[in-house]
Amino acid sequence: MGFLSTADFESQYQWMEEMGVTFREAPSHASDGKGVVIEDCYGHGWDFLVSARTATR
């Protein structure tokens, strides 16, 4: 599994939804940030994350 990070989780998540990205689960929210597992075109999982320290508010 790979990792991707962003400073603006909400807008990137919305964009990925609009583009038809496959999500393995609903986004999770924790004290250290937000995350969701997405699938690439080969079925590999990627953690898409934003740290609470770098998140756009």
Q: What whole-number distance in Å separates Cα of residue 41 and Cα of residue 20? A: 11
Count of domains observed in the chain: 1
Q: What is the CATH number of the domain that holds 13?
A: 3.30.720.110
* Rounded Cα distance, 16 and 30, in Å: 21
Instruction: Give the pLDDT score at 56.
Output: 55
Confirm whether 14 is domain-assigned. yes
* pLDDT tens digit at each of 57 positions of the chain: 788 899 899 999 999 999 999 999 999 988 888 999 999 999 999 999 998 877 555
